[in-house]
Each structure stands twice: as structure tokens, then as C-alpha cells.
Structure 1
Amino acid sequence: MRTSTLKKPIVLLTIALLTTVFFLLVTFSQNKHYSSSPSAISSSRNSDPMARTFILWLHGLGDSGPANEPIKTIFKSPEFRNTKWLFPSAPSNPVSCNYGMVMPSWFDIRELPLTAGSPNDESSVLRAVKDVHAIIDKEIAGGINPENVYICGFSQGGALTLASVLLYPKALGGGAVFSGWVPFNSSTINQFTEDAKKTPILWSHGIDDKTVLFEAGQAALPFLQEAGVACEFKAYPDLGHSISNKELQYLESWIKQRMQSSSSSSSFP
């Protein structure tokens, strides 16, 4: 019985990773292979002032940035031609829910599956947020307007996306959370600036998610409402702990709408 219990979180993680990898392989098998990047900070490429929009994608536990790079091929609209993408890889850290196993992880996770009441390791979350903020700061210093910065992430990367957006001092273009959760308690709301609260959130979650339960995603709604943050929540029936084409296609239209709005509001008379 004990052996079976110990294996459960690792099995859940393995199934989730295999599902995501299978999705990417099937969907993007015709696309070119992309080179790897070793860590969140070292993979931040030189800022390109000609790129009007910047999209940062944060992967899930045990995954890597390069494995997710084909996602950008979904975004075929001409508005994304000058978009700069970045897919950093998390550093290798011991993870409590997998009994100290070292794997790519943005911060520590204490239990799997994750529920609405799962405990959080806020100190390690905040350390990861600083790394993400350093990436954002570099792009803004290189000429990207904050309102053209979009942070997106899946699972653990989704939780880090939420934390990074809400704790950033400026309003960004948006934050997109896929199958994520709120990685800190409500007392952290006091640290959100008024500008940060203006950043819109898109939340997508599969109803059949067995790794980050749907209830964990739903718990974000009252949290964000209390914080005064606008959130569009989309539930996907029959979807487990993975990303679907439908979610990514909606993300494309969601960002494109904001890109157009940003362009019109910042245009000169």
C-alpha cells in the first residue's frame, strides 16, 4: 500500500507530461526543431526593439522551454509577424510532491493532485517571480511597451504566470493561465499595485483535469474578484491536464484583440 501511495504523484506528473508531449508531437510534427535554452535567465535573448509585442511562455513541472516552442506556430495571424517569443526552461530543483526528486521546476509543489485547498510554498514562488520580472524588465528596457507584454503558462507555469503578472508594478498586456492555480493566499493581495490590477487575465481549464483539479482553477475567480482583477474564465469539457488546439486558438484571438486595442489607443492623431 505504501509503495502505491508513494508512486501516485509521480505517476500523475508522468501522465500529464506524456499527454502534453503527445499533443505537441501530433500537432506540430511537421514543424522545424528548435534549439534549447538552459535556464530562465540565461535563455533570455537580446531584446529586439523592432518587436512590437513580447510573449513569454512558462512551461509546466518537469517540462522544458524548447519542448513548447512549437506552440507559436499556431499563431498565424499577420499581427504576430513582429512578435518576439521566449520559452525559458525552469532550473532543476527538488520537488516535495515527488519526494525530493530533482526536476525542472519553477518553485516547490507540496502535493499532487492540487485542489482548491492545497498548501503553497510562497517563498519559492516569490523567488521565481523575481526571475520572471527580470525577463520582463529586460524586454521593456529594450523598447517593448509594457502594454504589449503577455505572459502565458501551463500548470505550474500558469501559477507562476498569475503570480508574476499580479506582482509586477506595471500594467501588462495580459496574463494567460492554462490549468493553473493561485500559488499564494489572499493576504498577498495587499502587494498588488493599482496598475497591476489593470492587467486582464485569461484562465483556461479542463473540467476533467486530474492533476490540477478544476476546483483549483475555479478558486481563482473569487480571489481575483476580491483583488479587483478582470478575469475571463473558460472551462473545457472532456479536457484533462493538457492544452488543446481550441485553447491556443482562442488565446491567439484574445491577444490579437488586445494588440489591436493597444495599437489604436497609442496611435498618434
Structure 2
Amino acid sequence: MARTFILWLHGLGDSGPANEHIKMVFKSPELSNTRWLFPSAPPNPVTCNNGWVMPSWFDVPELPFRAGSPIDESSVLQAVKNVHAIIDQEISQGTNPENVFICGLSQGGALTLASVLLYPKTLGGGAVLSGWVPFSSSVISQFPEEAKKTPILWSHGTDDKLVLFEAGQAALPLLQLAGVTCEFKAYPGLGHSICNKELLYIESWIKRRLKKSPSSTCLHLSCLKKIFHSS
């Protein structure tokens, strides 16, 4: 079974270890050979919290985040480089890029979107939970053609008061303009949090996109030949 890699990016002020319980929801046999990574954001001053230092992937000028809220694009692009270094290392260890999945909540979801769409290869997918678009439309021209083939799954609660539902919906026309495939899932009544229904759907979404290893394909063909010759 080919190895799968799932990188989970937490939200503002959170930590990687605090989210490790999420992997317990993913019980499918197809994901038994999965390496999970839950990194923690470095401490940084955050504008929307009066400059207080807290775990943050990049600066956030304003919360609640609405469609059209200001962004700090330069700090986002710097954070993207760090995520790309993690992906590069995993691929160098033999993981098929199309079995690499990036998932993130809130600020981590925004970083997921930017990291996936600026990576030079097609990845398995990017799952954005209650996130937002952390870059201007001018960045679309920087999307590598291979990155545009990476599918996006966007999950957003309709009662989200921290990253408003409208901010999630605003991503759709921009991604469509860029030629990126995005499946948008609305969760009625859900606030700024994760529910099991979301996680189970992400699990099934990842399973549908897994690429088999060449060795497993060869083994399958070998079995077919044996059956054919014995009949």
C-alpha cells in the first residue's frame, strides 16, 4: 500500500499537539499507511490581537474575517515557503506527490489554500476548513499550471462568527477564475469549529484520490496472469 502523507495546520493561537486527536477519526484501511504531521506555528505578534505574541503562521490584520477584509500577503507568502519545505522533504522520502494532502482550520485553512496553489507539483488535495483567501487576485498569475490541478475541498459552517461564511463563499469565483476545482460544503448551524461530519467527509474525499503504488499494481497484474493461466 502506497504511503499517504497528511499535513494538518492548526488555527490561530492553537498548537499542533492539541489537534493530534483528529487522526483517530480516520479509521479506513486505505489510510493505514498514513504519516501524519501536526506542526505548531511559531510565536508571532498578531495585529488583530493588539500585537500580542501567540502561535501564528502569519499576521492577521482583522478578525472577524469578512469578504474583503485586509490581508498581510507578504507574511503569508513567507509561511508558504515553510510549508513547501515540509512537502519537499516528504516527497524526497518517496511519497507520491498525489498522495500528499494538506488540511487546515481557520488561519491554517488559509495557509493550506496558499501553499497548495503555489506548489510546483500537483498534490492529492487541499482541505480548507473555515478558512479564507489570504492573497490578492494578482497572485493567481503565480499559480503553477500543475498546482491548478490540485483539487480543493472547502468546508464552512453557516454560523461561523469568526471567519464569516461569506468569506468562504468569496473564494469560489476567484478559484473558478484561476481554473481550480473546488468543492464547497456548507454545514448548517456550525460555528467556528470542526465537527465529526466534516472529518468523515474529508476522510472519504482523501480515499477517493489516493494513488496506488506501482508495486501494488504489478502485484495485481501478476495475480490476474495466474488466474488466466490456471483457467
| Residue identity in the other structure for 2:120 | P
Write out the 4+ residue segments of structure 1 that deviate beyond 6 Å after TM superposition: none
Q: Per-residue deviation at 1:51?
A: 6.3
1:267 to 201, 210, 217: 217
Partner of 2:226: none
Question: Which structure 2 residues correspond to residues 189-228 of structure 1 after superposition, within 5 A?
Answer: 189-228=140-179
Alignment partners' CA distance in 1, 2:88 and 2:118 = 13
Report whether the alignment pairs 1:162 with 2:113: yes
Answer whether contact 1:51 1:84 (CA < 8 A) is retained: no
> Per-residue displacement from partner, 1:25-67 (whole Å, max 9, x unpaired)?
xxxxxxxxxxxxxxxxxxxxxxxxx861000000000000000
Output the CA distance in 2 between the equivalents of 1:138 and 1:250.
Answer: 28
Partners of 1:197 and 1:144 lie apart in 2 by 20
1:173 aligns with 2:136: no
Q: Which residue of 2 aligns with 1:143?
A: 94
Tell me the equivalent position of 2:20. Answer: 69
2:8 maps to: 57
Q: For residues 166 and 95 of structure 2, what CA distance do their matches in structure 1 show?
A: 36
Residues 113-158 of structure 1 show CA distances to partners (whole Å, capped at 9, x for unaligned) of 0001101100000000000000000000011110000000000000
Cα distance in 2 for residues equivalent to 1:168 and 1:250: 24
Counterpart in 2 of 1:44?
Answer: none
Identify the match of residue 135 of structure 2 among 184, 202, 215. Answer: 184
Cα distance in 1 for partners of 2:26, 2:105 equals 17
Superposition deviation, residue 267 in structure 1: 3.4
- For the pair 1:247 / 2:198, whether they are aligned, the reply is yes
Displacement, 1:243?
Answer: 0.3
Q: TM-score, normalised by structure 2?
A: 0.92
Which of 9, 26, 39 is 1:88 aligned to? Answer: 39
Structure 2: distance between partners of 1:127 and 1:234 = 29
The equivalent residue for 2:227 is none
- Backbone CA RMSD of aligned residues: 1.4
Please give the secondary structure, in 1, of the residue aligned with 2:180.
coil
Question: Which of structures 1 and 2 has the bigger CA Rg?
Answer: 2
TM-score, L = length of structure 1: 0.79
Where do 5+ consecutive residues of structure 1 fail to align? 1-49
CA spacing shift, 1:51–1:101, aligned 2, 3 Å: farther
1:105 corresponds to 2:51: no
Given that 1:61 and 1:157 are in contact with CA atoms closer than 8 Å, whether structure 2 keeps it comes out as: yes
